[in-house]
Amino acid sequence: MSDVVVRCSGISRTYQEESVPVQALQDVDFEVCKGEFISLAGPSGSGKSTLLNIIGGLDRPDKGDVEVAGVKLNDLNESELSDLRLQKMGFVFQAYNLIPVLSARENVEFIMQLQGVSPAERASRATAVLEQLGVEGMADRRPGELSGGQQQRVAVARAIVTRPVLLLADEPSANLDSATTRELLEMLRTLNETHGVTIVAATHDPIVMSYARRQVNLRDGRIVEDKQNEAA
């Protein structure tokens, strides 16, 4: 468990957009090893999403270095960051994860098409991953015809079908009831334990924290606690 997938050292991020500058992250050091399942916890505004976005190459720190899978993100331009996200990252957001006019299967195939995967391989991988997440019966439905939990499963399917080095989830359970949240988390745990998918999830949700094996607490843009979750 010593393979480092993410290494953040001394990262700070200040938002200047408002009249008062907001320090979203202050001098954060953070590492993620291969195979971990981490929850980023903390009150609203503590910097969870900011950290997740910086790791995912969606945002840049004002200070500090970020290295993902051996690639220094600071050195990449926008197009290279875009390619990195496509090939190395899987994203699950709180909502609006899926393209509304594509079916579940097409959503999963779409990202592989962006990667240039051949049609035959796209089809077989999409079938496999939808099955794995228990939504094979919904393959031809569009997101609007799926429940919130089913949508999130398809989103996870879309995120992992590319075999990313890192699965990043921002409030994946925010729109789900607790039973559905547990089902989704069981899936994520299986992916983590049996398929070795590395997961980092930003969340307020105690259920999500209880499934994660490591919990990192943030407050005012700093890591205040970093603990292993023995119960998980």
Partner 1 sequence: MSETIVLEPVAEDRAASLLSVRIGWRNLWRNRRRTWLTTGGIAFSVLLVMFFMSMQFGQYAIMIDSATSLMAGQVQVQSSRYLQDSRFEDTIVEATPLIRLLQENRHIVSVAPRVEAFALVSADERSFGAQILGIDQAAELETVRYVKMLKTGSNLAGPDDAVLGSVLARNLGVAPGDEVVVLGSGKEGGIAALVLTVVGLLETGMADLDRSLLLAPLSTVQAGFGLGDEVHTLVVRMDDLSSSDRVVTQLTEQLPDALTVRAWQEILPELKQAIAVDKIGGQIMYWIIMVLVMFSVVNSFIMTVFERTREFGMMLAIGMRPRAIVAMLQWEALFLWVIGTAIGAGLASLLIIWLHDVGIYMGEQMEDYAKQFYMPARLYPGFSREVLTVAPLAMLVGTQVAALIPSLRIRRLRPIVALRTT
Ligand X SMILES: Nc1ncnc2c1ncn2[C@@H]1O[C@H](COP(=O)(O)OP(=O)(O)OP(=O)(O)O)[C@@H](O)[C@H]1O
**Residue numbers of the site for partner 1 (CB under 8 A)?**
3-5, 7, 34, 53, 56, 58-59, 67, 69-71, 79-80, 82-89, 91, 93, 96-97, 99-102, 106, 109-111, 113-116, 158, 165
Q: Any contact of residue 77 with ligand X (CB under 6 A)?
A: no
Closest CA to 42 of 230, 171, 203: 203
In angstroms, give the least distance from the CB of 81 to Mg ion.
20
Nearer to partner 1, 84 or 139 (CB): 84
Distance CA 193, CA 186 (A): 10
Distance CA 218, CA 196 (A): 26
Nearer to partner 1, 116 or 230 (CB): 116
Nearer to partner 1, 91 or 211 (CB): 91
Q: Which of residues 33-52 bind ligand X (CB under 6 A)?
A: 42, 44-50
Nearer to partner 1, 53 or 217 (CB): 53
Secondary structure of 197-225 as H, E, C letters: CCEEEECCCHHHHHHCCEEEEEECCEEEE
Residue 29, Ramachandran bin (φ over 0: left; ψ between -120 and 50: alpha; else beta): beta
212 close to 39: Cβ distance less than 8 angstroms: yes
Nearer to partner 1, 54 or 211 (CB): 54
Name residue 89's beta-bridge partners: 166
Stretch that binds Mg ion, among 4-12, 48-56, 95-103, 112-120 (CB under 5 A): 48-56
Q: Any contact of residue 22 with ligand X (CB under 6 A)?
A: yes
Closest CA to 55 of 184, 193, 167: 167
DSSP state of 17: S
In angstroms, give the least distance from the CB of 21 to ligand X.
9
Query: Which spans of this chain sit near ligand X (rule: CB under 6 A)?
Result: 15, 17-18, 22, 24, 42, 44-50, 202, 204
Query: Which spans of this chain sit near Mg ion (rule: CB under 5 A)?
Result: 49
